[in-house]
Amino acid sequence: MYNRIYILHFFKDTSNEPVIYQLVKQYDVEFNILKADILPQRDGFMILELKGSKANVVKGLEYLEERGVKVERLAASVRRDDEKCFQCGVCTGVCPVGALSLHRPDMAVLFDPDKCTGCSLCVPICPVRAMELSLGQDALTENINP
């Protein structure tokens, strides 16, 4: 399952269209609205977590851009500094998507950046600050091959 968080900018001529509905219906993409400010005939924005196969999410994002919605990634990346990490596992308890997990039986903390949505819950909880968030607003082409 591919998860990413995006900011969608709606312009007044697209704010009345059911584009999010089409993500579900045409592209089989699940969504979670994290924040939204959209009114008819006004510019607005929405912060969404999108979930589905990578191909479907990419096609859905392309559809949104074709409809005049500006799409930007909220977080560029989360990375782990392996030199700082001492494998305590605290981060695994807060990761909502399983990007951080414990490998048994050796109890090694594994980090899968492809599963990471950039929610940053792991950053403040890490006692040695081994997790780092790089904020940015990447273009759609970056999202195709993150």
145 has pLDDT over 50: no
Homologous superfamily of 2-73: ACT domain (3.30.70.260)
Please report which confidence band the pLDDT of residue 14 belongs to, taking 50, 70 and 90 as the band edges. Answer: confident
pLDDT at 142: 40
94 alpha-carbon distance from chain centroid: 16
Please report which confidence band the pLDDT of residue 75 belongs to, taking 50, 70 and 90 as the band edges. Answer: low
SS3 95: coil
pLDDT at 141: 38
* Residue intervals in the chain for CATH 3.30.70.260: 2-73
Q: Which CATH architecture describes the domain 76-133?
A: 2-Layer Sandwich (3.30)
Tokens 């699940």 -> residue = 30
The dihedral sign for the CA sequence 116, 46, 8, 51: positive
* Residue intervals in the chain for CATH 3.30.70.20: 76-133
Please report which confidence band the pLDDT of residue 139 belongs to, taking 50, 70 and 90 as the band edges. Answer: very low
Tokens 């939204």 -> residue = 36
Q: Give the helix/strand (H/E) hosting 33.
A: strand 30-37
Question: What does the block give as tokens for 101?
Answer: 């997990």
